Chain A
Amino acid sequence: MIGCEVRVTAVRFAYGEREALRGIDLAVGAGERVALVGPNGAGKTTLTRLLVALRRPTAGRVTVGDWDVATKRPDEMARRVGYAFQHADQQLFARTVADDVAFGPRCLGRGRAGVASVLDELGLGGVADLHPYDVPAPARKLVALAGVLAMEPAVLILDEPTAGLDRVQRSRVVAALRRRADAGVTVLAVSHDLGFVAEAADRIVAMREGRVATDRPARELLYDREALAALGLRPPTTAQIGMALGLPGSPIRAHEVVDALRGTRWKEMPE
């Protein structure tokens, strides 16, 4: 898998008279893991939909690698950009989980190659033969993500990929995204879950009222309590622990905090 740059230049978009995007400039490079955060209604989902031609900007330009998105249809974009919707049920339709995941690769002429390994990767091996609507809603979300991963896109766009997932499922998603990014895939994830962001992203782009409010390395922004507060956000638990105890290295991932706390002498009971 080889990723490609996603570039958004001076993009504006309006729903009728309500302007949702008010001049966005953003570039995400191959192999980058970027989280798109911000309050509800900031324009995050709208922006991602422009990247796959599900919406057309009212002004500005969007490119994915050497493709000008304005010249492409959504089905053409799907060959290069995988998009997992916020609500998985919008993209499940086959009779079994395995068939649903295989739909994309089949359309690309790859048969069922890679389907079983993606199902295993996301812990779905045991439900492969079930109807997608017979598995719990969180697992359906993973089925939709598996379908996107199975297409091996150069760019992955995920809208709230961890909403409703339990801790084990969330860690599987984090690991899957890390593997793809390490292989050069461009990853852009919309998320309110700063715990997930801390584990999965290296860079955070925060939106507010249709604009990019901030664009900083994750390790830096997640330790900037004031900047986060201005965005209506709080540091994730890992960074809160790091700040409260003055842990070295600004740990943001759980294993980093655990490593920093090893050797700690604990009080037996809380005071």
Chain B
Amino acid sequence: MTALVELERAGFTYPGARSPALSDVSLDIAAGDVLVVTGEAGAGASTLLLVATGFAPRVVGGKLSGQRRIAARRCGVVFARPWTQLTGLCSTVRDEIAFGPASFGLPRQAVLDAAERAMRELRIAHLAEREPSQLSGGELQRVVVAAALALDPEVLALDDPAAELDPEAADALYDVLPAIAAAGKAVVVATPDLERAARVATRAVTLEHGRIAARGAPADVLDGTEPALVARAAGCPRPYPLDVPALVRRVRR
């Protein structure tokens, strides 16, 4: 599979920062991937999303080191704070989601189709006529994900996308990610929510202090889920079960 993004010993330092937020990261991201990036808060997961999608340093400033090649024709990023992504120009959710494709100069019907499709995928058709500024945090989160999807990006990067969502909406959001990847896109998710991440990830990376500390199959990397931690504390041998059914299967009755 051709890589959509290639990083080779990449590093990044924010403007004015004394030390790099990301160091020596080598990573390929390809179509079909649901790559989960995790780590303790401040480990560099959000920064990796910005670097991999070209937003850093182009939008945020700062200094990139190492090699980066972005072959994807378009990357979409959904930030952890959804209200920062509203245009502030649209009085309905439908218009907000259509804003991106419309700004590319697509024909009117194509713009509307893209918006409708994205709303369907995120299950927010019922919000179409609502005013974006009046949505709850969780509703807004889904709107900005839909707006990013409507741009038809080849790489969709999501920064802690379920942070504002209720559990049902969070499950629904994670559930659509494999389908997005299967449609030929790469999905990159930075999240501390290891249990949901473990359900959808095809690959996972753990960062520590801006460096890759672990990479590989979700079962090997995402072993900090609550079932894994509980099982470990209760004396279960490795490999630790990542989810509840796996833990239950390990108990010898």
Contacts and interface: CB of A to CB of B under 8 A. Distances in A.
Interface of A: 15, 18, 38-41, 45, 86-87, 89, 134-139, 160, 163-169, 192, 194-195, 232-234, 237-238, 240-241, 244-245, 254, 257-258, 261-262, 264-271
Interface string B192-236: 100100000000000000000000000000001111011101111
A267 B165 CA distance: 36
B241 A270 contact: yes
B137 A261 contact: no
A139 B40 CA distance: 11
Interface residues of B, number: 49
Nearest to B194: A167
B89 interface: no
A18 B136 CA distance: 13
A266 B237 contact: yes
Contacts of A270: 239, 241, 246, 249-250
B237 A194 contact: no
Interface string B140-178: 000000000000000000001001111111110000000
Given A164-B163, A167-B224, A261-B234, A139 B42 contact: yes
- With a 10 A CB-CB cut-off, give which of B41, B46, B195, B251 has the most chain A CB atoms: B41
Contacts of B2: none
B125 to A, nearest CB: 15
A238 B244 CA distance: 9
A55 to B, nearest CB: 14
In the complex, the 7 A-B pairs of residues with the closest C-beta atoms, listed nearest first? A40-B138, A138-B41, A261-B234, A136-B42, A232-B168, A237-B226, A265-B252
Contacts of B17: 134
B128 interface: no
B134 A18 contact: yes
B9 interface: no
A237 B234 CA distance: 15
Interface of B: 17, 40-42, 46, 80-81, 83, 134-139, 160, 163-171, 192, 195, 224-227, 229-231, 233-237, 239, 241, 244-252
Contacts of A264: 234-236, 251-252
- With a 10 A CB-CB cut-off, give which of B46, B136, B235 has the most chain A CB atoms: B136
Given A18-B134, A40-B165, A270-B239, 17 more contacts: A38-B166, A40-B164, A40-B166, A137-B46, A164-B163, A166-B192, A167-B192, A192-B166, A195-B226, A237-B225, A237-B230, A254-B230, A257-B230, A262-B235, A264-B251, A264-B252, A267-B250
B137 to A, nearest CB: 6
B206 to A, nearest CB: 12
28 contacts: A15-B134, A39-B168, A40-B136, A40-B164, A87-B81, A136-B41, A139-B42, A160-B164, A165-B41, A166-B40, A167-B192, A192-B167, A232-B168, A241-B227, A241-B230, A254-B226, A254-B229, A258-B234, A261-B251, A262-B234, A264-B234, A264-B251, A264-B252, A265-B252, A266-B250, A269-B239, A270-B249, A271-B249
